[in-house]
């Protein structure tokens, strides 16, 4: 109960009474050091990096191609084929690497598109306000209420029978996912943008004659940057999952590998029931790791940008307590000395 008071008192007394010795002053810390990246951030970033390496660098060193028939239906793992073969007799690891790559590319395209649309709509609605805000947010709320999976299914069915090759593969799917998953971002960005819009530096910008697009780009967007980065990470994860959901329903990019397609074939050829774990566990694990890694990355970024969510480490708390005790001791010594000299 007295914690707040006592710490406030300490904070007041800490600085001026005991000036730091000039020699012991630390070198100026670079600005990014104050961001306080926790171990969580490193773990999650490492995880994502590992998967990216598997997807993009792995195939360069692996002897088998994903479209090279090397065995028959569900050959068990062997020294030659570490993860055996899948239902078409392709090497599972080779397929896994190409699937992961395609899923990541899909996520990147769709996630970026979704963030772009969401931020544009959100920032316009939040900053400009008025009837534009009503209109855009009304639209957003309606899209948000309709389950996106339904829209995704309906559009992908149309895409399946299209003749345009560009729309048939990963890119078409990414477009569909991108244009259906922006409402979350738009809503959150609007709230932030309208609060930034009332700050003083915006008035300064207006007075100095900046135009609205300029203000949005240089005076509003930078203040939302941390949020946009987090939203982007989330959109990446949800786009990758949306792709695999659609693929499992049989609406995936036909003729292309993706993590969802791999699971789709594994289910279609009864891999789970026959115990061919090497056919379905690898894509399952990679999907889970991607999703977990990205969400973990988002939550640790949230803690970096948002100190209120940060929980103090025991070590730091102990260090702070020790520092306070030390200061109190010095203070006492100082007082003693003053008494002596007086």
Partner 1 sequence: MGLKRYLANKTLWYLGALAVAVVLNFLLPRLIPGNPVDVLVSKLGQGGMSSEAQKQTYEAFLREFGLDKSLWDQFVLYITGALHGNFGASFSFYPTPVSSLIEQSVPYTLALQLPAIILGWIIGNVLGAVAAYKGGSWDKSVFTTSLVFSSIPYYCLSIVLLFVFAVTLGWFPVGGAYSLGMSPEWSWDFFSDALTYWWLPFISLLLINIGGQAVGMRSMAIYELGSDYVNYSRSLGIGDGKMTRYIFNNAMLPQITGLALSIGTMVGGALITELVFNYPGMGSLLFGAISSSDYPVVQAVTLIITVAVLVANYLVEILYGFIDPRIRAAKSGEK
* Tokens coding 208: 């100095």
Q: Looking at residues 49 to 88 of the shown chain, list those that interact with partner 1 (rule: CB under 8 A).
A: none
Q: How far apart are CA 171 and CA 109, in angstroms?
A: 8
Residue reference for tokens 């002596």: 340
Q: What is the contact mask toward partner 1 in residues 245 to 274, using x (rule: CB under 8 A)? A: x--xxxx-----------x---x----xx-
Nearer to partner 1 (CB atom), residue 55 or residue 290: 290
Backbone angles phi, psi at 91, to 5 degrees: -70, 125
Q: In the complex, what is the shortest distance from the CB of residue 162 to partner 1, in angstroms, rounded to a whole number?
A: 6
Binders in 122-181 for partner 1, by CB under 8 A: 138, 141-142, 144-151, 153-155, 157-158, 161-163
Please, what is the minimum distance in Å from the beta carbon of residue 7 to partner 1?
12
DSSP class per residue in 210-255: --HHHIIIIIIHHHHHHHHHHHHHHHHHHHHHHHHHHHHTT-S-TT
**Of residues 211-240, those binding partner 1 (CB under 8 A):** 237
Tell me which stretch binds partner 1 (CB under 8 A): 9-17, 49-57, 196-204, 280-288.
280-288
Contacting residue, 4, 60, 79, 207, with partner 1 by CB under 8 A: 4
Burial of 114 (0-12, 13-18, 19+ CB in 10 A): buried
Q: Single out the segment in contact with partner 1 by CB under 8 A; choices: 26-34, 79-87, 199-207, 284-292.
A: 284-292
Question: What Cα–Cα distance (Å) separates residue 143 from each residue in 128, 154, 179, 206, 270?
Answer: 21, 14, 11, 33, 37
Q: Nearest-5° angle of CA 7, CA 13, CA 19?
A: 130
Given the complex with partner 1, which of 153 and 229 has the nearer CB atom? Answer: 153
296 binds partner 1 (CB under 8 A): yes
CB closer to partner 1, 59 vs 77: 77
- Longest CA–CA span in the chain (Å) reads 96
DSSP characters for 277-291?
Answer: HHHHHHHHHHHHHHH
Nearer to partner 1, 14 or 302 (CB): 302
Contact 81, 58 (CB under 8 A): no
What's the half-sphere exposure (Cβ side, CA atoms, 13 Å) at 229? 12
Q: Does the footprint of partner 1 cover residue 209 (CB under 8 A)? A: no
Tell which residue, 131, 135, 238, 118, has the closest CA to residue 190: 118
Considering the complex, what minimum distance in angstroms separates the CB of residue 237 from partner 1? 7
Judged by CB under 8 A, the stretch of 54-62, 64-72, 277-285, 317-325 that binds partner 1 is 277-285
Question: Using CB under 8 A as the criterion, which residues of the chain lie in contact with partner 1 when the complex forms?
Answer: 1, 4, 138, 141-142, 144-151, 153-155, 157-158, 161-163, 237, 241, 244-245, 248-251, 263, 267, 272-273, 275, 277, 280-281, 284, 287-288, 291-292, 294-296, 299, 302, 308-309, 311
């Amino acid at each position: 109960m007295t914690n707040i008071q006592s710490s406030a008192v300490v904070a007041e007394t800490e600085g001026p009474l005991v000036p730091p010795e000039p020699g012991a002053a630390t070198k100026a810390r670079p600005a990014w050091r104050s961001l306080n990246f926790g171990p969580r951030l490193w773990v999650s970033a490492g995880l994502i990096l590992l998967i990216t390496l598997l997807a993009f660098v792995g195939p360069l060193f692996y002897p088998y191609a994903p479209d090279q028939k090397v065995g028959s239906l569900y050959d068990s793992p062997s020294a030659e084929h570490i993860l055996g073969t899948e239902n078409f007799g392709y090497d599972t690891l080779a397929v896994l690497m190409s699937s992961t790559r395609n899923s990541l590319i899909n996520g990147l395209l769709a996630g970026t598109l979704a963030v772009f649309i969401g931020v544009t709509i959100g920032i316009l609605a939040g900053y400009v306000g008025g009837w534009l805000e009503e209109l855009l947010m009304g639209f957003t709320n309606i899209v948000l209420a309709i389950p996106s999976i339904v829209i995704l299914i309906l559009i992908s069915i149309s895409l399946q029978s299209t003749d345009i090759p560009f729309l048939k593969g990963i890119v078409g799917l990414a477009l569909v996912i991108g244009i259906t998953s922006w409402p979350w971002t738009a809503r959150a960005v609007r709230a932030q943008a309208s609060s930034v819009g009332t700050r003083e530096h915006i008035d300064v910008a207006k007075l100095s004659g900046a135009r609205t697009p300029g203000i949005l780009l240089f005076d509003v967007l930078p203040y939302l940057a941390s949020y946009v980065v987090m939203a982007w990470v989330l959109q990446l994860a949800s786009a990758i999952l949306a792709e695999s959901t659609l693929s499992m329903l049989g609406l995936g990019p036909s003729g292309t590998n993706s993590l969802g397609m791999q699971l789709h074939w594994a289910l279609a050829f009864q891999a789970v029931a026959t115990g061919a774990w090497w056919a379905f566990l690898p894509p399952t694990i990679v999907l889970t790791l991607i999703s977990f890694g990205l969400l973990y990355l988002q939550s640790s970024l949230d803690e970096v940008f948002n100190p209120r969510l940060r929980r103090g480490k025991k070590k730091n708390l102990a260090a702070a307590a020790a520092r306070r005790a030390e200061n109190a001791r010095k203070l006492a010594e100082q007082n003693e000395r003053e008494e002596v000299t007086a």
